[in-house]
Amino acid sequence: MTVGQDAGGPVPAARVRGMLARPEIGALIGALVVFVFFASLSEVFRSPAGIANWLDPASTLGIMAVAVAALMIGGEFDLSAGVMTGSTAIVTGLVATRLGWNIWLAIGVSLLFAVLVGFLNGYLVMRTGLPSFIITLGSFLMLQGLNLGVTKLLTGTVLIRGLADVPGYHSASMVFASTVSVFGGAFRVSVLWWIGLTLLAVYVLRRTSFGNWVFSVGGDVRAARNVGVPVVRTKITLFVTTAVAAWLVGTITILRLTSIQANSGIGQELIYIVAAVIGGCLLTGGYGSAAGATLGALIFGMVSQGIVYVGWDADWFKFFLGAMLLVAVLTNQFVRRYAEEAKR
Amino acid sequence: MSPLLEVRGIGKRFGSVVALAEVSTQVSAGTVTCVLGDNGAGKSTLIKILSGAHRHDGGEYLIDGDPVRLSSPRAALDLGIATVYQDLAMVPLMPVWRNFFLGSEPTKGRGPLRRLDVAHAKEVTRRELLDMGIRLRDPEQPVGTLSGGERQSVAIARAVHFGARVLILDEPTSALGVKQAGVVLRYIVRARQRGLGVIFITHNPHHAYPVGDRFLVLKRGRSIGEYGKADITVEELTRLMAGGAELEQLGHELAGYGDVTALDGPVKSEDEQP
């Protein structure tokens, strides 16, 4: 790993650097430790039914964490990602139940809505040069208000229900909300969506020009611009991707429940960021991994259900999550110093 | 054979301020032309004209013997004139090979299957850097782990790979320590050996002299002389740059300060004693 000129360079350190060069290594070790820990304490945890149970929360979180991780690698945040899972479901619900449209059309309208919101987020961030943290905090609060306001206005309650009676519900439900039985465990189809999206994101980030651009706009936006990377297009695409991931989760949620609460998804945005950071993403951008974010979501799923299986008070979950986050951030900090260390 | 790049009596004014006037020089394939001068001598104006960032408003700018007016750095690049700036276009956290091809990634496959040709990119990076004398054991190494001199060299190698015939190096050694500056100077010689024309901008005659073939000295926007290597020594070059007499006076002044400091020393330390 050293360069010809510095033959006397530190070799053991180089080996360590090689290992740490993979951002998801910490999350992988973490996931293994958590699995072994709960699997040894609880028989249910390691049974197919138990696995299906903890993969479920991991899947919807994982879909979001992967998109949010890509956005963070690109150097931006999206605080509206959580509320958007609610907003998109509400759009689907309202179009389907109020207008009586086929559910597939309603899902299509909701997808257009997601693309529009993602584009606006990205466009405003790029146009104003303000931190995405503030811009998307604005859109987060606006959407939160809209979700409640519009839902109450049109339904008189804070709940949209009756999706099961809408034409097309059955087929849509098959695609987004069915369960598959494997070895006696009822696995949610969302797990397949999650795995598919993770593979796609890993491929795009590591093996396409666009992926190269994502890392560069997050790592050093001026350098990226200098060598001709389409910075604005890259970042706006990432915001749109995040909104579309929220649309997928929103669609899965509303089809599962056949109803949607107006406050759905709020507060989740930080959990997505936590999963991405546990997976090795730097808060400063330019470094991270989609596979890591997925492992972060997996840890989240295992702990949230595992604590219940071993009979502990669920209150400990948040404490554990916070501790994981701190350890991850400290590790990431160390890794980045190491990677950026210049031998001047 | 006409030189790769030549300027004849070139000039640039910003409003009523004359930034550059009547400057002539040239660079041929396989030679290094050094542009020397103190801060404010007009070096950056000259580079900006050469690299296409500014348009000249007097004299002639010829590439391959043909007069040109460059509209943008992109236009210069298309003619093979590449500028490597002091603040490099590199992303520290990204691997060397990804940086090397950033913005011009080689791909294979088509449609949705269009993907990075990773093996090719790594191989080319390794080979191009080897040609510059950098032996890279792992192209996955982040650029941030390279030394300042090596990063300069990666930037140079990248410019060469993407078709540069003339390299304009803007103060590549100024931010570097003695050893690292030596690394960069070695790469300048390599680039020359590979048949590139190099324009090396610096304010350090000790960096310029060992690698240069021609020396253009600028002062307050005007040329105060252009010399072949045989016509000048490094001492004369230094004197010329600093304006001989001024440097001697400065020398006397500094010697004077030296005495004063020697007298100050003990007084200060007495004060510090309780």
pLDDT tens-digit map of A194-253: 999 999 999 999 999 999 999 999 999 988 887 888 999 999 999 999 999 999 999 999
Amino acid identity, residue B260? V
Q: Please judge whether A229 and B134 are an interchain contact, meaning their C-beta atoms are less than 8 angstroms apart.
A: no
Q: Are A63 and A70 in contact (CB under 8 A)?
A: no
The Cα A344–Cα A336 span in angstroms is: 17
Q: What is the mean pLDDT of residues B63-91?
A: 82
* CATH architecture of the domain with residue range B5-243: 3-Layer(aba) Sandwich (3.40)
* Domain membership of residue A109 as a residue range: 24-333
Helix %, strand %, coil % of chain A (to 5): 75, 5, 20
- Asked if the model's pLDDT at residue A156 lies above 70, the reply is yes
Nearest CA-CA distance, residue B49 and chain A, Å: 18
The Cα B151–Cα A251 span in angstroms is: 48
The kind and range of the H/E element at A167 are none
DSSP codes of every residue in B20-76: EEEEEEEE-TT-EEEEE--TTSSHHHHHHHHTTSS--SEEEEEETTEE----SHHHH
| CB proximity B133 to A under 8 Å | yes
Confidence of residue B158 (pLDDT cuts 50, 70, 90): confident
- Asked if the model's pLDDT at residue A273 lies above 90, the reply is yes
Q: What is the mean pLDDT of residues B243-272?
A: 57
CATH number of the domain within which A139 lies: 1.10.3470
Confidence of residue A25 (pLDDT cuts 50, 70, 90): confident
| CB proximity B106 to A under 8 Å | no
Quote the pLDDT of residue B77. 81
The Cα A80–Cα A59 span in angstroms is: 19
A117 located within any domain: yes
**b/e string for B106-134 if b means 16 or more Cβ within 10 A?**
ebeeeeeeebbbbeebbebbbebbebbeb
Quote the pLDDT of residue A344. 34
The kind and range of the H/E element at B13 are strand B5-14
Burial, B274: exposed, middle or buried (Cβ in 10 Å; 0-12, 13-18, 19+)?
A: exposed
Q: Please judge whether B133 and A4 are an interchain contact, meaning their C-beta atoms are less than 8 angstroms apart.
A: yes
Q: Are A54 and A306 in contact (CB under 8 A)?
A: yes
| CB proximity B134 to A under 8 Å | yes
Q: How many structural domains compose chain A?
A: 1
Handedness of CA A265, A268, A272, A278 (dihedral sign): negative
Q: Give the HSE-up count for residue A92: Cα atoms under 13 Å, Cβ half-sphere.
A: 37
| CB proximity B147 to A under 8 Å | yes
Quote the pLDDT of residue A30. 87
Task: Give contacts of B 222-251 with A, CB under 8 A.
Answer: none
Q: What is the mean pLDDT of residues A155-160?
A: 91
Q: Are A3 and B134 in contact (CB under 8 A)?
A: yes
Q: Which residues of B touch A288 (CB under 8 A)?
A: none
Identity of the highest mean pLDDT range in A122-126, B50-54, B171-175, B269-273: A122-126
Quote the pLDDT of residue A338. 67
Quote the pLDDT of residue A16. 52
- The residue whose two tokens read 């086929």 is A102
Helices A290-309 and A190-207 meet at what angle, rounded to 10?
A: 150
Quote the pLDDT of residue B188. 87
A250: nearest Cα among A96, A125, A123: A96
Q: Please judge whether A344 and B183 are an interchain contact, meaning their C-beta atoms are less than 8 angstroms apart.
A: no
A13 located within any domain: no
Q: Are A122 and A240 in contact (CB under 8 A)?
A: yes
Q: What is the mean pLDDT of residues B43-52?
A: 88
The Cα A173–Cα A252 span in angstroms is: 8
Confidence of residue B245 (pLDDT cuts 50, 70, 90): low
> DSSP state, B139?
T
> DSSP state, A343?
-
- Closest CA in chain A for residue B176: A344
Across the interface, which of B91, B107, B146 has its CB nearest the CB of A209?
A: B107
Nearest CA-CA distance, residue A67 and chain B, Å: 19
| CB proximity B183 to A under 8 Å | yes
Q: What would the pLDDT profile of A51-98 be if each residue is shown by its tens digit?
A: 999 999 999 999 999 999 999 999 999 999 999 999 999 999 999 999
- Asked if the model's pLDDT at residue A6 lies above 80, the reply is no
A339: nearest Cα among A284, A292, A272, A273: A284
Across the interface, which of B90, B142, B176 has its CB nearest the CB of A339?
A: B142
